[in-house]
Structure formats: C-alpha cells, structure tokens
Amino acid sequence: MPKRRPLLRAAAELLNAANGFKPLAREGYPTIPVFAFGWPTSELSPLYMAGSMLDAGRRGIRGDFRGTRGRIALLLTAIAWVVLYLTHRRNVASRPFFEDPLREALGSDYQAIAEKVKSSRRRFIGVPPNNFVRRRYVEKAGTVHYGPLRVNRADIWRRPDLPRDGKAPVLLQVPGGAWAIGMRKPQSYPLMSHLADHGWICVSIDYRVSPKNTWPDHIVDVKRALAWIKEHIAEYGGDPDFVVITGGSAGGHLSSLAALTADDPQFQPGFEDADTSVVAAVPIYGRYDWVSAQGNGRKEFIAFLQKFVVKKPIAGNRQLYVDASPSYRLRPDAPPFFVLHGQDDSIIPVPEGREFAEALKAVSTSPVVYAEIPHAQHAFDFYYGSPRAHYTAQAVEAFLSWVMATRKMAAG
C-alpha cells in the first residue's frame, strides 16, 4: 500500500492555487510549467476547488487528517480553497476591463451603435438559441480544404438556420501554439460559439507549423485561407466584403501580421493577385516583435525562432525578422484593431501587447482599442466556463459590431 503524504499533498495544492492566483515565475524557461499549471487553475478555479473538496472528504473518511500533521494538511488545503475562491471572484469582477477600453476608444455610445447591427441580425436570423455546444454550428460537411496541402483544412462554423444568401459577417480564427502546433481544435471555441450563435460564420484553420516547415510558410497559409474565404464563403451564406481576423498567441502574431500586410506579394506566392484584406483584427496575447532581444524571455524567444521557426540566425538575416514583425509593419491605413493581453501572462509578457497597441495608435487612422486584463494569464479566453472567456466573446462581438455599423453609416 503506498505511503500517504497528506502534508506534502496539501502543500502542493496550496502552491498550485497560489500560482493560479499569481504566477510564480516571470522570466526564463520556468515560465512554461508556471503557465501549464497556473492557466487552468486560474480560469477554472471553481472546478479545482470542488474537486479538491470532494477528494478531501474522501481522504478525511479514511483518516488522512488525523494527528498533528493531518490537521496541518487540512489547514493548508482550506487555505488553498480560500485562494481559489478569491481567484474566481476576481475573475468574475473583471468585466469592466474588457468594456471600459472600448468605451474610451470608440465613444460612450459604442454599445448603442453596435446594438443596431446586432438587432438587425436578430431580426434576420431569429433569436440566438444560447447553446454553446460546438457541433451545433459546424457544417455537416465537416472539414473543407482552403489550399492544395493536406494541412490546409478548415472548419466552417455557422448556425444551421443561417440563409445561404444571408451575407453573414465572417471571422477567420488563426490558432496559436508557438508556430509549432497550430491545431484548430479546440482553440477559441467560446468566441466562435458566441459569434456563430449571433449569426456570424467562423472559419477555423490549421496551417503549416515548425520545425517541419519554415517561416514564412505559416503566414502564407493564413493568407491562402483569406483568399479562399473571399472566393468561397458566399457559398455558405457569408459576406466576402466583411471578413475579420483573430487569433491568440502565435495566432495573435499571424492575425495581426496578415491584417497589416494585405495583398503583400511577399506572403502570397502563386496567388499574388488574391484579395487578402480584412475589415478588422483582434489579436489576443500575441507576439508582435521578432527582432528585439530586450525584456523578459526575449532572448529565449529569439533563440527559439532561430533554431526552430526561421532556421536562420538573425545576424545577417535581420530583414527576414523585421518583415515578420507586426510592430515593424505599422501603417496609417491599417484596419481597426482590438488588442487584448493579460497582465499576468507568463509566456508573452504584457509589455509586448501594450507597446504594440501604443505604436499602432500613433500611426493608424483607424481606431485601436487596447484591453489589458488584470491578473489574467496566457490563454485566458480558452475555456467555456471561464468568466474571462465569456467577457472576451462579448467584447469582441461588440467591437466588431461597432466596426460593421460605422462602415454602414459611412456608406450611407
């Protein structure tokens, strides 16, 4: 029979809860396990607390909390529950940090303007069923191919009652994964479920990843997906004239770079004449600078790019890294941007998002909204049960609806 170690187990639970409340490392390779354990604990703290309580009850019945060491273990476990509860309450209270930046950048009436579009969509498609089951929104045909390669696959998310001639707004979701994973499943499900629920069509893609593939294959596939959408999305009831792009982490990098390099032949080999422009971009906790080695984790990041993604040293190939950096591709005619980043992001430190948004604001003639979410870890929008995932979906829909409404008003 294995030896029971209630005190060690309780200490581990408390450490995990504390890491979810505040990341225990902010620099170097330790940030990877800090993120891996802290992210689910932070976003799903009620589930962790419920599971811990049930397990504590089971262990209490078998006598794990007897004696001095047992009582100390129970005390530490109870403190962990308090930390998890405070983490959840803090997450629930974060809604203003999503809404206030929109109000500041777009005006106090942004919600009323956005509601005009949302109301018209509701009249057109009916009341949203408010059902977050993924398969409700995926075409029965399942996967489509947007390019010639086996990896060029995409899921089409749409309501089954969406008319084929409905001219629904379209969102392209670019997955993250350090340019080495890039799987469309299960990323951004809360956002895409919410938008599909409200009459949008969402396209979620796979793309070529490293180390098997080499930059710029990743962005070429994203551009190819945009070209496919412009040519084919009307067949699914989508509007090729209203296509927006989003993505988190590496997807935040790729989505922002795509938005800032519309129709750039450098990233469109063999389809240089295709339209790859977007109406708006929503990068979330992305990497925007592939050049600078200054800041927490930057040296490790540049080393990773040189070895696995670009596969060329930055010395002697600096322009390749510059061209891949959204921070170096800023332009006055950039589409509207909504940039989101968590303050406690241990994978991509928050200054990356903050500095990119500030630099873009100084150049772009379009609105740039920046939401910095207190205490949020990397991938804060990932889980259905997370309050931040819910707030992210609502805020992104409000921003994109505002963009749609203002475009319609400008067009008369």
DSSP state of 148: S
Please report the pLDDT score of residue 38 as a whole number: 87
Q: Out of 38-52, 209-223, 334-348, which region has the weakest mean confidence (pLDDT)?
A: 38-52
- pTM for the whole structure: 0.93
Please report the pLDDT score of residue 140 as a whole number: 43
Instruction: Spell out a b/e string for 309-322, using b for 16 or more CB atoms within 10 Å of the CB, else e.
Output: bbeeebeeeeeebe
Residue 130 has pLDDT above 60, yes or no: no
* pLDDT category of residue 242 using cuts at 50, 70 and 90: very high
Q: Which residues contact 68 (CB under 8 A, 6 or more apart)?
A: none
Q: What tokens appear for 236 in the block? A: 């699914």
Closest CA to 286 of 211, 219, 210: 219
Residue 130 near residue 398, CB atoms below 8 Å: no
Question: Could you count the other beta carbons within 10 Å of the beta carbon of residue 185?
Answer: 10
Cis check: omega of the bond before 30, within 30 degrees of 0 = no
Residue ranges per structural domain of the chain: 6-92, 96-411
Residue 342 near residue 313, CB atoms below 8 Å: no
Residue 161 has pLDDT above 90, yes or no: no
pLDDT tens digits for range 360-392? 999 999 999 999 999 999 999 988 889 999 999
Q: Which residues contact 399 (CB under 8 A, 6 or more apart)?
A: 102, 106, 114, 280, 282, 336, 338, 369
pLDDT tens digits for range 33-52? 888 888 889 999 999 899 99
Residue 396 has pLDDT above 50, yes or no: yes
Please report the pLDDT score of residue 375 as a whole number: 95
Instruction: Spell out a b/e string for 325-344, using b for 16 or more CB atoms within 10 Å of the CB, else e.
Output: bbbbbbeeebbbbbbbbbeb
Specify the CATH class of 96-411 in words.
alpha beta
pLDDT tens digits for range 78-111? 999 999 999 999 999 999 999 999 999 999 999 9
Q: Which residues are catalytic?
A: 249, 345, 378
